[in-house]
Structure 1
Amino acid sequence: MGHKLAWLRGYLGITLGAAVTAVALNMFLIPNKVAAGGVSGLATVLHYTFGLPVGMTMLALNIPLFLGSVKVLGARFGINTLFGAAVLAAAIDIMAPFTPVLTSDLLLNSLYGGVLSGIGMGLVFKFKGTTAGTDLAAAIINKLFGVSIGQALLGVDFFVIALAGLVFNSAELSLYALISLFVTTQIIDLVQEGPSSAKAFVIMTNCPAQVAKAILEKLGRGVTFLSGRGAYTNTQRDVVFCVVSTSEVSYMKELIYKLDRKAFVIVADAHEVLGEGFKSH
């Protein structure tokens, strides 16, 4: 029963994400010719050139990409990929007549379209789905030519954006599309990882025991000793690792530097912390 509920929740999450992405495309991007890379951008260009429906064009473009990825990369792309691509394509075409266009301002459309697309795609990825598209093309290029997936993805998206600029005869539209693409990628990461809710401290000090004791007693946070060795001095020492809430960062620094003014401290964002003292699993 639990497995069935998890399965159902996953597909509902993918459907919700696809619907949000469809709203972003229909409300902000497609009506204003902002082709922010990917299969959706290419479908937007074809829509204005030949009058083809965006959703079904996306699905038609995704099918050979999916088949090619299975042939080149193996059958590791399952039903979730086809489901996500089909639901997004259907949602775009079904919702298009009922979705209002709120503004003709290109900057607003690029920003809000990017934010909503990022939320939608982030939800799809969060529920272990994908809408196929240029990530599959990038994976194929990586396998065939050895180009990194990140570079391949950037190259494919840049090609689509440049093509849109040529077809629409507007460099301005390409520049706005780049803004939208950047916003989308940032929001996808935010949805998947969550906002920075804590800070991770890596502390290299000559008095690790005293620092650990102060953190335990004053902040009540758990501390872990990591074994480290200096490359220059070749000396072995304990490295103190601890995660605290953002409101405790200043106090944490004060505790450390009261004990060791020469301590070397790294403070990093921790987007999601699960366990005692933080969020439950």
Structure 2
Amino acid sequence: MRLKWLRNYLGITLGAVLTALALNMFLIPNKVAAGGVSGLATVLHYLFGLPVGMTMLALNIPLFVASVKVLGAHFGINTLFGAAALSVAIDVLAPYTPVLTHDLLLSALYGGVLSGIGMGIVFRFKGTTAGTDLAAAIVNKLLGVSIGQSLLAIDFFVIASAGVAFASAELSLYALISLYVTSKIIDLIQEGPSSAKAFIIITARPAVVAKTIMEDVGRGVTFVQGRGAYSGTCREVLLCVVHTSEVTRIKELVYGIDPRAFVILVDAHEVLGEGFTRGKF
């Protein structure tokens, strides 16, 4: 238990350091305020000369207090630790961190990628860095606006404010690119790369299709009971997860048996179990 606790805090610290490097090397020096508390702190840094890390901490503390009062004390020490670790890392590393580029597009892209990796690691180890996530949760509780819409509105406000403060719509556009890249990388770190595909197959010959897939490809198939909403017809739906290299073979087998089969193919992230990665929690 203690080892798992230590691993989580080391992971949160690593993620915070990577995020701090992204801000110091790419985003802050180029005035790319990609939403969130870090974006707002970047704006305040250039307007009033305030240190970004401590400004973030100063903004996060009242947010944390308000969230505890409105939402209850379920955020825990991990949130406080993550927010503090990021704030300290930004200010401590700033004097020693080189600025790698002043090209705005490169800054937005590489800053977004590195920030996404860092934030993804923080989330992966059950931490957060507080910030606009807490603000969005408060808005959701008080006004009933969804968390996704609240986050979008808050980030848009921060990015728009940066554009006004820096008198540059172009900087806001680059900030949007960085925000988008960060969100995609966070999802990738959280879910893992799409190394597999999931087939959902509706066919008039489910038993034959399932037997053929199991014998010819060596993949397991699960029968799921389904009923058509319009026709009311009950039939077995096939669920099968395969490696990407096996997709074409599965399609050939299914349509060779039933040319009228209805097939849905979706990405499957972090598949755990027999024939794939063994789960470790």
TM-score range, shorter chain: over 0.9
The CA RMSD measured in Å over matched residues stands at 0.5
Q: Which residue of 2 aligns with 1:279?
A: 277
Please list the CA deviations of residues 161-218 of structure 1 after superposition, one character each: whole Å capped at 9, or x if unmatched: 0000001010000000000000000000000001101000000000000000001101
| Equivalent position SS for 2:271 | coil
Q: Which residue of 2 aligns with 1:209?
A: 207
Question: Match for 1:222: what amino acid?
Answer: G
Alignment partner of 1:109 out of 94, 107, 110: 107
- CA distance in 2 between counterparts of 1:174 and 1:231 reads 47
| Equivalent position SS for 2:34 | coil
Q: CA deviation at 1:62?
A: 0.1
1:35-46 paired onto structure 2 within 5 Å:
35-46=33-44
Q: CA deviation at 1:140?
A: 0.3
Unmatched tracts of structure 1, length 5 or more:
none
| Equivalent position SS for 2:101 | coil
- CA distance in 1 between counterparts of 2:23 and 2:139 reads 27
Alignment partner of 1:199 out of 191, 197, 200: 197
| Equivalent position SS for 1:237 | strand
Question: Match for 1:14: what amino acid?
Answer: I
* Range that drifts further, 20-29 or 229-238: 229-238
Aligned-residue sequence identity (percent) comes to: 76
- CA distance in 2 between counterparts of 1:179 and 1:202 reads 34
Normalised by the length of structure 2, the TM-score is: 0.99
Question: Match for 1:146: what amino acid?
Answer: G
Q: CA deviation at 1:272?
A: 1.0
| Equivalent position SS for 1:269 | strand
Q: CA deviation at 1:72?
A: 0.3
Question: Match for 2:192: what amino acid?
Answer: G
Q: CA deviation at 1:233?
A: 1.6
Please list the CA deviations of residues 88-121 of structure 1 after superposition, one character each: whole Å capped at 9, or x if unmatched: 0000000000000011100000000000000000
| Equivalent position SS for 2:43 | helix
Alignment partner of 1:127 out of 106, 125, 128: 125
Q: Which residue of 2 aligns with 1:136?
A: 134
Q: Which residue of 1 aligns with 2:48?
A: 50
Q: Which residue of 1 aligns with 2:151?
A: 153
Q: Which residue of 1 aligns with 2:87?
A: 89
Unmatched tracts of structure 2, length 5 or more:
none
Does 1:172 find its partner at 2:167?
A: no
Q: CA deviation at 1:239?
A: 0.4
- CA distance in 1 between counterparts of 2:236 and 2:228 reads 11
Question: Match for 2:249: what amino acid?
Answer: Y
Q: CA deviation at 1:34?
A: 0.4
Q: Which residue of 2 aligns with 1:23?
A: 21
Q: Which residue of 2 aligns with 1:270?
A: 268
After the TM superposition, which parts of structure 1 deviate over 6 Å for at least 4 consecutive aligned residues? none
Q: CA deviation at 1:43?
A: 0.3
Q: CA deviation at 1:36?
A: 0.3
Please list the CA deviations of residues 36-65 of structure 1 after superposition, one character each: whole Å capped at 9, or x if unmatched: 000000000010111100000000000000
